[in-house]
Chains A and B, each alone.
Chain A
Amino acid sequence: MNSIEVNNLTKKFGSFTAVDNVSFNVKKGEIFGFLGANGAGKSTTIRMLCAILEPTSGDAIVGRYSINKQPDQVKKNIGYMSQRFSLYNDLTVEENINFFGGVYGLEESEFEERKKWVLKIANLEGKEKTLTSSLPGGIKQRLALGTAVIHKPEIVFLDEPTSGVDPISRRRFWDLIHELSSEGITVLVTTHYLEEAEYCNNIILINRGKIIAQGTSDELKKNYIKNTILQIECDKVIEALEILEKQNFVNEVSIFGNSIHIVVNDNYKNEEQIRNLLEKNHSINVFRIDSIVPTLEDVFIHVLEEDKENGSSKN
């Protein structure tokens, strides 16, 4: 069963097309990753799905409601948490929870139960009177998520929820997201962190308003990169990168820490080819060359490069 169905959604601002004919489905209870660079159209899409921005054309069913025809129903059935803190810093923990409970019109008895739940997941039991401004970032994030789903929505949108949070808090936050998903809540999340994308059941990558890749993490790795990827460990990494870039057997080069990933094409024969080139011609020591399974980052760099080439060949 689909929780969100997006059909040919388009948003134009004047002559600029921010979202260009986007369609995708999100299944109920799924964690759906929405990836793309800044300005790619992620936030615009989310804003349309939250019924706060009218699409230029196209429609989407969120929950059971059309964003064009029933925006009020959509709003009642979704939760939303954004990259900027959505809590009031000058209010206490309890006052923030009370406010969102009132906004979503919770009944007294239900509200008491939900308030306890929010305090529990944010680890703030007994700290109801603490000012929100004095909470650490990770806790604030959990409280923000708790208040965003205080009314038990079917779907929750998280717009870069973990930006600026330390890795441990981020990990805990993702545990919370998995918990919500296991309760049947559909989660649509945008992120910059590609290791977070690995936690998602399904991923789409959007660039210049268009979907350029979609599938599960494994599907993406299998379907979008046909060529072999080699990881080369050597010294003088920058120099090696510059040399490899110019070779006709190399399609793409990128640095990962102190190693280099290269995507090779049919002109590539064997490891010796690289060793000869770097060690003999340029006296760069090569420690290791391995053929590796691509990471999501490899996939994204690859598809973004391809999209860029398509774009420039069109222009």
Chain B
Amino acid sequence: MDLQRTKAIAKKEFKHLLRDYRMLAILILFPVFLLIIFGYAINFDVKNIKIAVYDRDHSSLSRKFINSLSGTENFDLEGYIFNDSDIKHVLDEKKAQCVIVIPDDFSENVYNNVPAKIQFLIDGVDGNTATIVQNYVNLAALNFNREITAEIFSAYGIKSSIPLELEPIFWFNPELSSTKFLLPGLIGMILVIVCVVSVSISLVREKERGTIEQINVSPIKSTELLLGKITPYVALALLNATMIIIAGYILFGIEVKGSFLLLFFSSLIFLFSAASIGIFISVISESMQVAFSLATALSLLPSVILSGFIFPIESMPWIIQVFTNITPVKFFIVILRAIILRGVGLEAFWEQVIYMLLFAIIILTLANLINIKKEKSA
């Protein structure tokens, strides 16, 4: 390793980067753009569910039940329905996501100690939302039951008590905001794209323009070349990460709870593993066009689908879980969530750091083997 040669490469690469102002603008603005899109547009929080009510009982009890629902921010009462055919109508036209049918014997049954039935018709097209709606409805019914029971007991002069009362408190993300959950994954995704695309393009450009020949005949070693080449892009990616963290704080109020130093070093290791993918792509592609397509496909898709960014890995079939290891974002997200949301230290994620290093070593070895084979046959 000769530092002067590495420095010469890095310096030249910085010049390329700064001179290509269009590319630079994309590399800087793209992350901000993604953050805004993901931060505002993608929202898994289910609130203000539109409901319609078909109240056939018309009693004070049925109105009480309806009020207990529409009084929360979970439900918005869209209106009342007065006949059976309107139920289908309302659901078909998406005027409501959920229709509540209260039978005419509702209050009578309640007062006679016979279980009263309420029908909920939920629009099941979006399964995810439907499940959440169902949970909200269950919770509302549970609360209503408790109130009514207490009322009945007190009418007989008995002080009632509920044997079991759950009081869930959500640690780390008390308001269960999905932006908070998504931000670490977003950082991982953006960094991997920026790093893989820019590193592979910068290496393939030398191949395509023939300048690699000049580097090959010089005393530069391949480690010096690669280290010098990735330095500017790693720096750029770190700048991106800083921008996202600042924007996350300003726009979404997300604070980094853990150590910034730890965040910096683990990002550095992650970027090293991402750069190894870029190097691998540069070995197998001969033109910048091919490299760009491969780089975006190989960095973007796995980091969105397989990294646990949006879809939890634990609920994937085991064969897909094996495949999730093709992206280092998977490991980095665990680290980011640990540092940013939970504020914990290395003891919580040291394994992930090792996985990222292993990942880089495996990919670089593979790239090296292919390169040797190519040189022999070329």
The answer to whether residues A102 and B11 also contact, given A76-B219, A86-B213, A90-B20 and a CB cut-off of 8 A, is: yes
Considering only CB atoms, which chain A residue lies closest to B225 in the complex? A103
> Beta-carbon contacts of A44-68 to B below 8 Å, as 1s and 0s?
0000001111000000000000000
Name the A residues within 8 Å of B163 (CB-CB). none
B141 within 8 A of A: no
Segment from A30-38, A77-85, A179-187 that makes contact with B: A77-85
Considering only CB atoms, which chain B residue lies closest to A49 in the complex? B217
Considering only CB atoms, which chain A residue lies closest to B20 in the complex? A90
> Beta-carbon contacts of B209-223 to A below 8 Å, as 1s and 0s?
111011111111000
Q: Are A86 and B210 in contact, with the CB atoms below 8 A?
A: yes
Name the B residues within 8 Å of A88 (CB-CB). 12, 16, 211
The answer to whether residues A91 and B12 also contact, given A102-B5, A103-B5 and a CB cut-off of 8 A, is: yes
Q: Are A86 and B218 in contact, with the CB atoms below 8 A?
A: no
Q: Are B8 and A99 in contact, with the CB atoms below 8 A?
A: yes
B217 is contacted by which of A80, A98, A101, A105 (Cβ under 8 Å)? A80
Q: Are A91 and B16 in contact, with the CB atoms below 8 A?
A: yes
A75 is contacted by which of B11, B16, B218, B375 (Cβ under 8 Å)? B218
Considering only CB atoms, which chain A residue lies closest to B216 in the complex? A52
Q: Are B15 and A104 in contact, with the CB atoms below 8 A?
A: no
Least CB distance, B9 to chain A, in whole angstroms? 8
> CA separation between A290 and B96, bound complex, in Å?
104
B7 within 8 A of A: yes
Our count of residue pairs bridging A and B at CB distance below 8 angstroms stands at: 77
> Beta-carbon contacts of B192-218 to A below 8 Å, as 1s and 0s?
000000000000000001110111111
Name the A residues within 8 Å of B377 (CB-CB). 13-14
Q: Are B4 and A105 in contact, with the CB atoms below 8 A?
A: yes
B2 within 8 A of A: yes
Q: Which of B210-256 contact A (CB under 8 A)?
A: 210-211, 213-220
Least CB distance, B346 to chain A, in whole angstroms? 37
Q: Are B213 and A99 in contact, with the CB atoms below 8 A?
A: no
Q: Are B219 and A52 in contact, with the CB atoms below 8 A?
A: no
Least CB distance, B348 to chain A, in whole angstroms? 42
B19 is contacted by which of A76, A78, A90, A157 (Cβ under 8 Å)? A90
Q: Are B19 and A91 in contact, with the CB atoms below 8 A?
A: yes
Name the B residues within 8 Å of A13 (CB-CB). 377-378
Least CB distance, B97 to chain A, in whole angstroms? 56
Name the B residues within 8 Å of A14 (CB-CB). 377
Name the A residues within 8 Å of B16 (CB-CB). 88, 90-91
Q: Are B210 and A99 in contact, with the CB atoms below 8 A?
A: no
Q: Are A84 and B8 in contact, with the CB atoms below 8 A?
A: no
The answer to whether residues A102 and B210 also contact, given A88-B16, A91-B15 and a CB cut-off of 8 A, is: no
Considering only CB atoms, which chain A residue lies closest to B217 in the complex? A80
Q: Are B210 and A85 in contact, with the CB atoms below 8 A?
A: yes
B219 is contacted by which of A91, A95, A103 (Cβ under 8 Å)? A103
> CA separation between A52 and B52, bound complex, in Å?
77
Least CB distance, B176 to chain A, in whole angstroms? 49
A239 within 8 A of B: no
A218 within 8 A of B: no
The answer to whether residues A78 and B8 also contact, given A86-B210, A91-B15, A91-B19 and a CB cut-off of 8 A, is: no
Considering only CB atoms, which chain A residue lies closest to B215 in the complex? A103
A72 within 8 A of B: yes
Q: Are B5 and A105 in contact, with the CB atoms below 8 A?
A: yes
Q: Are A95 and B210 in contact, with the CB atoms below 8 A?
A: no
Name the B residues within 8 Å of A100 (CB-CB). 218
Name the A residues within 8 Å of B15 (CB-CB). 90-91, 95
Least CB distance, B126 to chain A, in whole angstroms? 49
Q: Which of A1-57 contact B (CB under 8 A)?
A: 13-14, 50-53
Q: Are B12 and A95 in contact, with the CB atoms below 8 A?
A: yes
Q: Which of A152-198 contact B (CB under 8 A)?
A: 157
Q: Are B209 and A84 in contact, with the CB atoms below 8 A?
A: yes
The answer to whether residues A103 and B210 also contact, given A13-B377, A90-B16, A91-B15 and a CB cut-off of 8 A, is: no
Considering only CB atoms, which chain B residue lies closest to A90 in the complex? B19
Q: Are B4 and A102 in contact, with the CB atoms below 8 A?
A: yes
Considering only CB atoms, which chain A residue lies closest to B8 in the complex? A102
Considering only CB atoms, which chain B residue lies closest to A81 in the complex? B214
Name the B residues within 8 Å of A53 (CB-CB). 375
Chain B CB within 10 Å, residue with most, of A13, A50, A95, A103 = A103
Name the B residues within 8 Å of A81 (CB-CB). 214
> CA separation between A81 and B210, bound complex, in Å?
11
Name the B residues within 8 Å of A157 (CB-CB). 217
Q: Are B11 and A98 in contact, with the CB atoms below 8 A?
A: yes
Least CB distance, A244 to chain B, in whole angstroms? 44
A104 is contacted by which of B7, B211, B218, B378 (Cβ under 8 Å)? B218
Considering only CB atoms, which chain B residue lies closest to A80 in the complex? B217
Q: Which of A103-122 contact B (CB under 8 A)?
A: 103-105
Q: Are B219 and A82 in contact, with the CB atoms below 8 A?
A: no
The answer to whether residues A75 and B219 also contact, given A82-B214, A86-B213, A102-B4 and a CB cut-off of 8 A, is: yes
A-B contact pairs, 21 of them (CB 8 A): A13-B378, A53-B375, A72-B219, A78-B217, A82-B214, A84-B211, A86-B210, A86-B213, A88-B16, A90-B19, A95-B12, A95-B15, A99-B8, A100-B218, A103-B8, A103-B9, A103-B215, A103-B219, A105-B2, A105-B5, A157-B217
4 closest cross-chain pairs (CB), A and B: A102-B8, A84-B210, A86-B214, A80-B217
Binding site for B on A (CB under 8 A): 13-14, 50-53, 72, 75-76, 78, 80-82, 84-91, 95, 98-105, 148, 157
Q: What would 15 more interface pairs be, CB under 8 Å, given A80-B213, A80-B214, A86-B213?
A: A14-B377, A52-B216, A53-B375, A75-B217, A75-B218, A76-B219, A78-B217, A80-B217, A82-B214, A84-B213, A90-B15, A91-B12, A91-B15, A99-B8, A101-B8
